[in-house]
Amino acid sequence: MKFYMTPGSCTTGIHILLEELDLVFEVQLVNLLAGDQNAPAYLAVNPKATIPTLVRNDGSALTEFQAIAYWLARSYPKAKLLPGDPDGDARAIEMMDYAVGTLHGQGFARIFTTDKFTPNPADHEAVKAHGRDIVTQGFAVLDQLLPTEGYALGLFSIADAALFYVEFWADKIGIPLPDNCLKHYRLMLSRPVVRRVLMEEGYRVE
């Protein structure tokens, strides 16, 4: 398989899942700042010009964090990356979608890619502030859903991988995490696979 990723991005969550499953895959780096996502060669693989992209053994490309995470969980059920019952699986997808769609797609996107939300530089700070508000409110919601100890749904799941990358971003830009989110983040940082992935992506792990 070929995994198209950018270190420190949302693809870190998928990277963690691939390593958890101990799968063999080739990494293809996508430099977003250099515009690699818009290069013809990459658009031929993923015309959405987004990350992550996973090209599977049959040559077909799968895009979108949630779709890739779900496919990995269902394809390798022995790893138990989903709880395994209808309600538990739905809760995992619910939490993952909120992290990816709301915190990332609505909140962090305004902070990291401000110019996509307004053509006027004078509005940039207001857009970023709005993004921080969305992120802060989003973590407050997640804090109520997370247990006081352990992973999001008991055992490690695809939801934890999604939560981790937005928690990681918050930590890196100084957005405080509420208590349960902070406990979850620290738990994830103590997981050997997570530490290995961060080191592979060029981050120092304390």
CATH number at residue 174: 1.20.1050.10
Q: Confirm whether 112 is domain-assigned.
A: yes
Domain count, the chain: 2
53 membership: H or E segment, kind and range: strand 53-55
Q: Band of the pLDDT at 103, cuts 50, 70, 90? A: very high
Q: What one-character DSSP code corresponds to residue 176? A: P
Q: Are 138 and 98 in contact (CB under 8 A)?
A: yes
Q: Is the residue at 162 inside a domain?
A: yes
Whole domain around residue 64: which residue ranges?
2-79
Nearest to 1 by CA among 42, 71, 55, 51: 55
pLDDT recorded at residue 34: 95
| Same-domain pairing of 187 and 116 | yes
Give the pLDDT confidence score for residue 5 in this predicted structure. 98
pLDDT at position 206: 72
Q: What is the 3 state secondary structure string of 19-35?
A: HHCCCCCEEEECCCCCC
In a domain, 196, yes or no: yes
Tell me whether residue 110 is in a domain.
yes
Does 205 reside within a domain? no
Tabulate helix, strand, coil % of the chain (nearest 5). 60, 10, 30
For residues 181 and 152, membership in a common domain is answered with yes
Q: What is the pLDDT of residues 189-203, one digit of tens each?
A: 999 999 999 999 999
10 and 67 share one domain = yes
Tell me if 99 is assigned to some domain.
yes
Give the pLDDT confidence score for residue 205 in this predicted structure: 81
What are the tens digits of pLDDT across the range 108-153?
Answer: 999 999 999 999 999 999 999 999 999 999 999 999 999 999 999 9
Does residue 75 have an active-site annotation? no
Does residue 206 form part of some domain? no
In a domain, 174, yes or no: yes
* Domain CATH number, residue 71: 3.40.30.10
Report helix, strand or coil for 151: strand
Same domain, residue pair 96 and 69: no
Residue 206 vs residues 173, 178, 182, 184, 196: alpha-carbon distances, Å: 17, 21, 15, 16, 12
pLDDT of residue 204: 86
- The phi and psi torsions of 161 (rounded to 5 degrees) equal -65, -40
Examine the domain organization and report whether 44 and 124 are in the same domain. no
Which pLDDT does position 14 carry in this prediction?
98
